[in-house]
Copies of this chain bind each other. A is one copy, B any other.
């Protein structure tokens, strides 16, 4: 018996509303003795911390730094070890590429071929504008057999996503990548018998593209990695009997939300737009995932003052959520992104929950250290969803 089985059995549909505000990469490490959260002036977060119940979550396991995929899956109650999203699918989702059940996707590089050897696996990091032209050219020139469609979608510099659409395409394929420069071009290999057809299609594609680009000196071949299919993953409406909405403005998170059966709302690029969207859609849904990216971006840049500012900026909008009167409000993060590391990390996330049935603890400051004394203790992010549903009255009793 796991949480997923339990969720199917115990959840009920109710009118109660849950708002889950995810401040991406929120957790940090001290600079001059204070973390970004401790440094920031956050009257609203602090006030809510005093009213609510607090704790810390581990995104996946202690010490494990998660990518955005596993971190978000856990937060939505999906075991990130059970549902592994291939790099191809994440790259596709992150690039805003639509992926359906008949699609096989992979990450691609333009590369440089000379005298039968791949001499630069990144084609000198060609400009993105050049990449866009190449993708248009390849899409126009390819002539796949009936029943198959192939599309390239440009990314940054030499990177692209390729999508093969057809019946029964398996993703049990090895990378078509020589891994090192000065080696011959590599083909994919079927890793299981049913992937034989997909391997042939991919390898023909590799030859076709190399033919199409053969007049060029630099970006004249391609490599493919991380073949993946649309994962078989139950949607949140099915699992939890909720009507979830995603309020996010980055393709990656919108893609993930769509994959989990959330309705993705149209949202502008400003912080204000997130809360406008929440107000606009509040009556139509009962679960709202709001994704705020600026905290993570500042962490990735190692920009501590920017992170403090990003926290203060979102803090000012919290009264707009409160004014809507959700039954459950949670404020947390998917993972930490300490400025000092300039990358995701394994540090735990502050987790704040407000609801009538949530016991207020003695925590009065919204910070990593203060939350370690909270009533919720420290727990796996995978258990966040059951808490949200319980406090919203959407979870029935287990057993008699």
Contacts and interface: CB of A to CB of B under 8 A. Distances in A.
Q: In the assembly, how many copies of this chain are there?
A: 2
Interface in A370-400: 372-379, 383, 385-391, 395-400
A377 B63 CA distance: 14
A84 interface: yes
Interface residues of A, number: 65
A209 interface: no
A1 B67 contact: no
Interface string A43-78: 000000000000010001111111111100000000
Contacts of A383: 61-63
Interface in A1-26: 1, 3, 6, 10
B399 A66 contact: yes
Contacts of A68: 400
Contact of A90 (B29, B379, B385, B400): B400
A85 B30 contact: no
The SS class assigned to the A binding surface is loop
Interface in A255-276: none
A69 B400 contact: yes
Contacts of A400: 67-69, 85, 87, 90-91
Contacts of A376: 378
A250 interface: no
Contacts of A155: none
Interface string A337-370: 0101101111100000000110111100000110
B346 A395 contact: yes
A333 to B, nearest CB: 15
B375 A377 contact: no
Nearest to A93: B400
A386 B67 contact: no
Nearest to A66: B398
Contacts of A91: 400
Given A377-B372, A383-B61, A389-B63, A360 B399 contact: no
